[in-house]
Structure 1
């Protein structure tokens, strides 16, 4: 047998499922994932630019604080009204994007490759959500550029944190932290019981503020669209783009389907 036939494929040329991984394996996968490397590299560049043209301490702290505070709200808005929308798959140019950024994740919640966000959608979102705020805050002290850089870096590092917590929530692992364990419980309900709620990843403050926070006991009946986000075989007949890209519409529990 030739060496090429026995050699294992590259790490990210293989498929990874969090329900079959250990915490150590997740950490190894996480630090090697291209998106995480990109976020980290861009954050270092943004911090370098901030060091070149820094903002004073007060606007810097305000920009970091505001960026950190607004991030969960931006995530909530996008998660609820964009990722869980039932209009994107009806627009042909957006169907592939919707499939990649969220439909695939709900079809198979533990598939690591589709859990991470796609850079062409996440990077513009992070920049728009943070850099203008940082620029406005810094400009008051005559340091708009530095404020924008530190805010953008904060958004990128917050994204890395979000992605890691999100991975842990899908990992076959019981978190030692009560806070993460509670977040995991709520997030699993979002994926395996009723997708119409518990949209947060690291906080459910905005779910509680907008009335979408729930416990399974509050909703005894399981949602019929928890795995397909409303993109049913009937809907696919009218708007087939996502089904064509997916090789059909998967039905039933992900663990009961053939990989």
Structure 2
């Protein structure tokens, strides 16, 4: 897609076709993001849970306490999920969970620039958000607090998903902080996947020793694109390979070009 025609082929986004973030401009990303069904669903849930939370909050001020609480615990929860579940190997080694692992993370690392696999499925993300945050909110202020906490998690997820898109976009951020987190995430996808698990918040990485700032700090991982699901693993646990219809790639077809684009953008 040409950057001189930022709205070119926008009808394809509406029909759900895959878009390569490595070839999209920032205006195209904004359009895709704000019209993407998953994001629109999150927006609807934010409105519904906020209104319901306010209505059920007695007193209302207590429910506001859920906002800083969720902001504090949410990055840690997602760090643990990302590191020990999404990058774990037990999901693909089980016939019943192989398709889940493929959808929620393997496809994204196989081709990091595909928009439709970058966004998690609401069937997976919404229950996870609810399980992490609603019990905490309930302890603070009953059902009003639980819904307020859930709304906060949804807002954070929308922010998280947008910056995640920016990190895979062929775009050089002007804001220094965005450029910094983009560089860290590019390292996670193109150098060593066993680190920099955060997207917008790398405090847990620093706490648990998985943070690294530059590629020279670590050797390049041979599993950065397949997450350890190589040909040998695929022979032992073939379910993901069968679903993919092809052997796992050690390097995506466009990885060399995309890595160069991202390194310049970062």
Could you state the TM-score of these two structures normalised by the residue count of structure 1?
0.91
Superposition pairs of residues 5-20 of structure 1, within 5 angstroms:
11-20=14-23
Q: Partner residue of 2:250?
A: 251
Over the aligned positions, Cα root-mean-square deviation in angstroms equals 1.4
Q: Name the CA distance, whole Å, in 2 between partners of 1:58 and 1:9.
A: 45
Larger gyration radius, structure 1 or structure 2: 1
Check if 1:92 corresponds to 2:131: no
Residue 239 (structure 1) shift: 0.3
TM-superposed deviation, 1:33: 1.0
- Deviation, 1:163, is 0.3
Residues in 2 aligned to 1:232 and 1:83: alpha-carbon distance in whole angstroms: 16
Give the superposition deviation at 1:52.
1.7
Q: How does 1:121-200 map to 2 (within 5 A)?
A: 121-138=124-141, 144-200=142-198
* Offset, 1:176: 1.4
Which residues of structure 1 form unaligned runs of 5+?
Answer: 1-7, 139-143
Q: Does residue 242 of structure 1 match 2:240?
A: yes
Q: Distance in 2 between matches of 1:90 and 1:208?
A: 30
Q: Is the 8 A contact 2:137 2:146 kept in 1?
A: yes
Query: What is the CA–CA distance in structure 1 between the aligned matches of 2:209 and 2:58, rounded to whole Å?
Result: 38
Q: Answer yes or no: is the 8 Å Cα contact 2:222–2:250 preserved in 1.
A: no
Match of 1:107 in 2: 110
Q: Which residue of 1 aligns with 2:29?
A: 26
The counterpart of 2:50, out of the listed 27, 30, 47, is 47
Counterparts of 1:235 and 1:50 in 2: how far apart (Å)?
47
Output one character per residue of 1:72-104: Cα deviation in whole Å (capped at 9) or x when no partner: 001100000000001110011100000000000
Between the aligned partners of 2:168 and 2:253, the Cα distance in structure 1 is 13
TM-score (structure 2 length as normaliser): 0.88
Aligned residues of 2:13 and 2:32 also touching (Cα < 8 A): no
Consecutive unaligned residues in structure 2, runs of 5 or more: 1-10, 257-266
Q: Which residue is equivalent to 2:3?
A: none
Q: Is the 8 A contact 2:24 2:169 kept in 1?
A: yes
Gap change, CA 1:151 and 1:256, over 3 Å in 2: closer
Taking a change above 3 Å as real, the CA distance of residues 254 and 69 of structure 1, as seen in their structure-2 partners, is farther
- Determine if contact 2:54/2:60 at 8 Å carries over to the other structure: no
CA distance in 2, matches of 1:122, 1:21: 25
Matched residues, number: 244
SS in 2 for 1:206: helix
- Tell me the residue number matched to 1:203: 201
**2:80 is aligned with 1:77:** yes
Q: 1:44 to 1:256 in 2, by over 3 A?
A: closer
Q: How far 1:68 moved relative to its partner?
A: 1.2
- The answer as to whether partners of 1:107 and 1:254 remain within 8 angstroms in 2 is no
Per-residue CA distance 1:164-214 (angstroms, 9 max, x = gap): 010001111111111111100000000000000000011110000000001
Shift of 1:59: 1.9
